[in-house]
Amino acid sequence: MNIPSWIQYFERNRTSFEEPPLDPDASPLRDGLRLPLAESLAVFQLGETGGGTRLMRYVRRTLRHQPDALEGYDLAVRLFVAEEQRHALLLEKLVIYLGGTLLQKHWTNTVFRQLRTLLGMEFNIQILLTAELIAEAYYGMIYRRTTDDAVRTCCHKILRDEMRHIAFHTNFFQERLARLSRPLRSLWRLGFRICHRVTATIVAWDHRRFLHSLDVSQGEFIRLTLKAGQRFLRRLDSSSSSWQPEVSLRSRQKASQLATPG
C-alpha cells in the first residue's frame, strides 16, 4: 500500500473543488423532487458528521500488528476523515439550498452507531465501507436524474471522492486479508456481503419517498448498490497494486460513466 501517495492525494484534494453558489432555498427543482431530496440528503449529511473516533481506534489496534507495512496509515486515515467532514459541510449547505432542514438525530444513524459499538471494530469498518459503496450508487443516481446544476456539481464531486475512498479501502483490505487464512478470508467476504445487502435494503426502504420522486424502485436502488459491492470484491481479489491515487484520472472517467444516463 503506497501510503505516502495517499497522503499526498488527500492533501491535494483539499483545494481541488470550486463550490457552486448555494444560496438558501434557491433551488429551481419542483417541490415534488426538491423536498424529498433535501430530506434524503439530510440523512446522509448526518451520517458524515462523525469525528472518526471508532475508526481511529480500529486503526491504532491494526497498526500494533502491522507497524512496518502500514507506517503513516494513521495520518492517511485522519486526512480521509477530514475529507468526509468536508462532505458533511457541503451537504449541509446543499440541504439548506434545497429548502430542507438539518437533522440532529435519525433512527438509522442511531441504530448503526449502537451496532458498531456493540459488535466491535471489524463491523465498524465494514459499515464504513458499505456506506462508501452505497454512496457511489446514490450520488451517481442523483446526478443522472436531476436537472439542478448546483446539485449535480456537488454530487459529482462527492461521487469522485467516494470512488477514491473505495480504492483507498481496497488497498488496506488487500494488505490485511493477505495475512489471514483462506477460511477466514471467506468468512470475512461472507460477512461483508451480508452486511452490505442488509444495509442497502434498510437505506432503500428509509429513502423510499425520495426514490419514488425519481421514479426509482427500491429494488433498482438495491441492485445498483450490490453491483458496486461486486466491483469492490473483484478489485479486492486482484493481485495488482495499481489501486493507488494515480488512478484518479480513471476514477474521474468512471465517475463520469456512473453519472451518465443509460
Torsion of CA 247, 252, 254, 255, to 10 degrees: 140
Regarding the domain with residue range 29-258, which homologous superfamily does it belong to in the CATH classification?
Ferritin, core subunit, four-helix bundle (1.20.1260.10)
pTM of the model: 0.84
Contact in structure between 56 and 79 (CB atoms under 8 Å): no
Contact by Cβ (8 Å): 242, 5 = no
Pairwise CA distance, residues 41 & 100, whole Å: 9
**Per-residue pLDDT tens digits for 26-68:** 999 999 999 999 999 999 998 887 666 767 777 777 666 666 6
- The ranges assigned to domains in the chain are 29-258
Express each pLDDT in 239-255 by its tens digit: 544 455 654 444 444 55
Mind spelling out the 3-state secondary structure of 64-75? CCCCCCCCCHHH
Question: Could you report the average pLDDT of every consecutive run of 10 residues in the chain (262 residues)?
Answer: 88 90 95 96 87 70 64 84 93 97 80 62 71 92 95 96 89 80 88 88 94 95 93 78 50 50 44
